[in-house]
């Protein structure tokens, strides 16, 4: 079975949590719960959710405060947050977006809209993770004693298929000990 995307549902009302879970009853999701802002921050660290559905009005720490803390932390700032509330009005939405929320939904939540927004933000997060992986792969320096010199990747644009499979090629090369990259990516003229 493939990777299940993890959704953290945060609401101080257990009935609302159950309702959200039922609205997202899909085999591709794993749901975890928190019932306060403080518990939500702990769960984010322990569970590493892919997305957070967060009620605004909670005793203690509000959803706005939780969002500000998440977005202010380098480890958690990229996790999409959907604020969910019974509050109505543009001021609340603006405040939520200014805190760093990615989306805003009013209660009662429309199931189709909730799923569409969750799926959209999960796709965006996947693209961001792929971009991050691509940026990191650009920083790689391959230094193999069997080669004449180190090969810095990439010196010039790589063919699309190589760019997509570069992380896998690097792992395969490391595991097998065979210089797969050297056959796929020509060495710069200065390295010969």
Let me know if residue 105 belongs to a domain: yes
Alpha carbon 132 to chain centroid distance?
A: 10
| Mean pLDDT on 145-159 | 49
Contact between 78 and 49 under an 8 Å Cβ cutoff? The reply is no
pLDDT-derived band of residue 3, with 50, 70 and 90 as boundaries? confident
Instruction: For 59-71, write each residue's pLDDT tens digit.
Output: 999 999 999 999 9
Q: What is the pLDDT of residue 128?
A: 83
Residues 175 and 110 in one domain: no
Q: What is the pLDDT of residue 88?
A: 78
Q: State yes or no: pLDDT of 49 exceeds 70.
A: yes
Q: State yes or no: pLDDT of 191 exceeds 50.
A: no
| Mean pLDDT on 119-129 | 88
Q: State yes or no: pLDDT of 160 exceeds 80.
A: no
How far apart, in whole angstroms, are the C-alpha atoms of residue 77 and residue 60? Answer: 22
**20 Cβ partners below 8 Å, 6+ apart?**
9, 11, 31, 53, 84, 109, 114
Residues 146 and 164 in one domain: yes
Residues 94 and 166 in one domain: no
Q: Which residue has the higher pLDDT, 192 or 68?
A: 68
Q: What percent of the chain has pLDDT over 70?
A: 68
Let me know if residue 171 belongs to a domain: yes
Q: How many domains does the chain divide into?
A: 2
| Mean pLDDT on 147-173 | 57
Residues 63 and 103 in one domain: yes
Instruction: For 82-113, write each residue's pLDDT tens digit.
Output: 999 888 778 888 899 899 999 999 888 899 99
Mean pLDDT check: name the lowest of 114-123, 143-152, 178-187: 143-152
Residues 172 and 148 in one domain: yes
DSSP H or E run through 54: strand 51-55
- Pick the last residue of a domain from 96, 130, 164: 130
Residues 37 and 99 in one domain: yes
Range of the domain at 168: 140-191
- Pick the last residue of a domain from 97, 130, 163: 130
Q: What is the pLDDT of residue 164?
A: 67
| Mean pLDDT on 175-182 | 61
DSSP H or E run through 116: helix 111-138
């Amino acid at each position: 079975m493939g990777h299940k995307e993890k959704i953290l549902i945060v609401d101080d009302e257990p009935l609302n949590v159950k309702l959200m879970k039922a609205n997202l009853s899909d085999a591709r999701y794993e749901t975890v719960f928190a019932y306060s802002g403080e518990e939500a921050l702990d769960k984010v660290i322990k569970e590493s959710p892919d997305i957070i559905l967060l009620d605004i009005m909670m005793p203690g720490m509000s959803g706005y405060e939780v969002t500000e803390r998440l977005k202010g932390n380098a480890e958690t700032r990229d996790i999409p947050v959907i604020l969910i509330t019974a509050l109505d009005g543009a001021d609340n939405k603006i405040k939520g977006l200014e805190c760093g929320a990615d989306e805003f939904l009013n209660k009662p939540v429309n199931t189709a809209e909730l799923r569409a927004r969750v799926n959209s933000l999960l796709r965006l997060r996947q693209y961001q993770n792929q971009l991050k992986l691509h940026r990191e792969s650009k920083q790689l320096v391959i230094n193999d004693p069997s080669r004449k010199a180190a090969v810095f990747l990439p010196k010039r644009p790589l063919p699309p298929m190589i760019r997509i499979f570069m992380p896998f090629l690097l792992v395969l090369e490391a595991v097998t000990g065979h210089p797969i990259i050297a056959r796929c990516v020509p060495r710069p003229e200065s390295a010969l």
